[in-house]
Amino acid sequence: MKKRVRFATATAFALLMCWALLSLPGTEAQAQSNKPVALEGVKFDTAAPFEDNLKACVGKDIIVHLESGATLQGYVKSVHDDLLHLEKLAGKDFYDALIRIDDISALEVKFRDMK
């Protein structure tokens, strides 16, 4: 019986807190002001070779999916002679990667940000 009372009290409190947060003034205005905005200088060109799309990402944080199934995230330092140099790998302090462009199956780049 005590467990039911505690559960009912906790549920009522949680619902009350949710209602209070939703009824705060400005919440709706904040939600409307947070709209995705395109980042400058980032775009894919499907008419260009894959290597040229990678060169356009120099200095950008990207996620590379390899044909082996591995995924690497880092900043593009350079692209040259069928090789991609990723620096500052995510989750691996002080590591870089040199990747053959032929081994890349997909590429993820952040195109939009919230403003």
DSSP one-letter code for 58 = B
Per-residue tokens: 106: 């997909």
pLDDT by residue, tens only, the chain of 115 residues: 677 777 777 777 777 776 777 776 655 555 556 887 767 767 788 888 899 989 988 999 999 999 999 999 999 999 998 999 999 999 988 999 999 999 999 999 988 777 7
Q: Which string of DSSP letters, residue by residue, matches 66-115? A: ETTS-EEEEEEEEEETTEEEEES-TTSTT--EEEEGGGEEEEEE--EEE-
Q: pTM of whole model > 0.75?
A: no
